[in-house]
Structure 1
Amino acid sequence: MSIYRAKKAINKIPVCLSGIMLAIVLAGCPTEMTEQPSYKPQEAPLLTPPASSVSTQGRAGGLRDLASPTTATPKSIEEGRYLFQIYCTMCHGEKGRGDGPVGQKFIPKPADLTSAHVQQLGDEEIFLRITNGFQTMPSFKKDLTPQERWHIVNYVRSLGVKGG
């Protein structure tokens, strides 16, 4: 009978070791996950840019000296639409109404490019906002050539003509 008891004890060793390992692993799991600094469902996060990362004050000089070298031809507007889809849609939305999926998280919300306010801006002002950024909008100076930025200006103008 002592051999039987020895075999029975040996069979319990893996179970005991498994229990000890499980206790060690569970002891290492933090319980802090119940208190998370995350957003609650249906709660919009406050996404503000880091300080001094986006210019929100002042104006670039030489606004009046800036003139579009690109005529608003159908080809230019189409090129602007293509670039807008790549660089602007995520914030301004497909029709430029400021309702893009990423832009909904920003405070303030992206501009509605079909609005009278935006459409009354000069071409040079829109060009400089694309170039240097404005409020939560980043600068696209390094991403787009001046010619491409003017195509986007022409496309933004066409949004006001078409009514979005």
Structure 2
Amino acid sequence: MRFLPGLLLPLVLLAACERAKQDMYDQPRYKTFAASTLFPDGASARMPPAGTQPRARGAFSDSTGGRKGGTAVQEDIAAETAQTNPYPVDLRLLKRGRERYMIYCLPCHSPVGDGDGLVVRRGFPAPPTYHQPRLREAPDRHIYEVITNGYGVMVPYADRIEPADRWAIVAFIRALQLSQNAPADGLPPDIRAKLDAQPETAAAAGATP
């Protein structure tokens, strides 16, 4: 029995550690944009140091200790540094890219990527069409960088589109470009036969009837 207190003490300490860890998440904090006397400018919200990047993902970064969030962080870093699309371009990726494109890109770039979106028709500056030679020949990384950092009047989307989803959008944009500029010689035989049966359509596609 004299050993019982020695056994109970570690259990009490372990329980206290879990409670202390939860207190770190529930600690007192300022409301958004609340005033503060702690800083000279009187604001509680602080600008992050130059060059910092947000890395936390999910509720409690996937675990109360934050240990499981490391995998997602490494995946983000790999996607952010890739010069070409690091993911297999399959139907799943294209569906994801189409979904994200319809949410973030369609209002300006239009469903087919010609830059005639609804906000453009209401006076917003028109973005360039994806179907011009310059953008058809641009590397994947260029499109990814524009999504990330913005370009001209287009705002950056890095804070709302995750790196993997930016590559999915790039893949979908490539599919849009191909849909409007597919070489007739690369079409399946049955579709090529239908195309050859329509001289006007075949000539527009660059095929010989």
TM-score band, normalised by shorter chain: 0.5 to 0.7
Kindly state the Cα deviation for residue 114 of structure 1 after the two structures are TM-superposed: 2.5
- Give the TM-score taking structure 2 as reference length: 0.45
Runs (4+) off by over 6 Å: none
Q: Does 1:97 align with 2:98?
A: no
Deviations 1:46-95 (A, max 9, x none): xxxxxxxxxxxxxxxxxx96232112212111110111000011000111
Write the mapping of 1:2-17 to structure 2, written as runs, cut at 5 A. none
* Offset at residue 156 of structure 1 (A): 0.5
- State the distance in 2 between where 1:65 and 1:91 align: 26
Match of 1:134 in 2: 151
Q: Deviations over 1:2-48 (max 9, x none)?
A: xxxxxxxxxxxxxxxxxxxxxxxxxxxxxxxxxxxxxxxxxxxxxxx
Q: Which one has the largest radius of gyration?
A: 1
Q: Distance in 2 between matches of 1:154 and 1:98?
A: 18
What percent identity do the matched residue pairs reach? 29
The AA in structure 1 aligned to 2:103 is I
Contact 1:80 / 1:151 at 8 angstroms: preserved in 2? yes
How many angstroms does 1:125 deviate by?
0.4
Cα drift, residue 102 of structure 1: 0.9
The one-letter amino acid paired with 2:127 is: P
Deviations 1:120-157 (A, max 9, x none): 11000000000000111111100010000000000000
The match for 2:133 is 116
Aligned to 2:69: none
Counterpart of 2:100 in structure 1 is: 83
What are the ranges of 5 or more consecutive residues in structure 1 without an aligned counterpart?
Answer: 1-63
Q: CA RMSD in A?
A: 2.0
When the two structures are aligned, how many residues end up with a matched partner? Answer: 101
2:172 equivalent among 148, 155, 159: 155
| Corresponding residue of 1:106 | 124
Equivalent residue of 1:140, what SS?
Answer: coil
What code does the residue aligned with 1:86 have?
A: I
Residue pair 1:96, 1:112 contacting (<8 A) in 2 also? yes
In structure 2, what is the equivalent of residue 48 of structure 1? none
Question: 2 CA distance for matches of 1:91 and 1:135?
Answer: 13
**What is the aligned counterpart of 2:162 among 125, 145, 161?**
145
The answer to which of 82-91 and 70-79 deviates more is 70-79
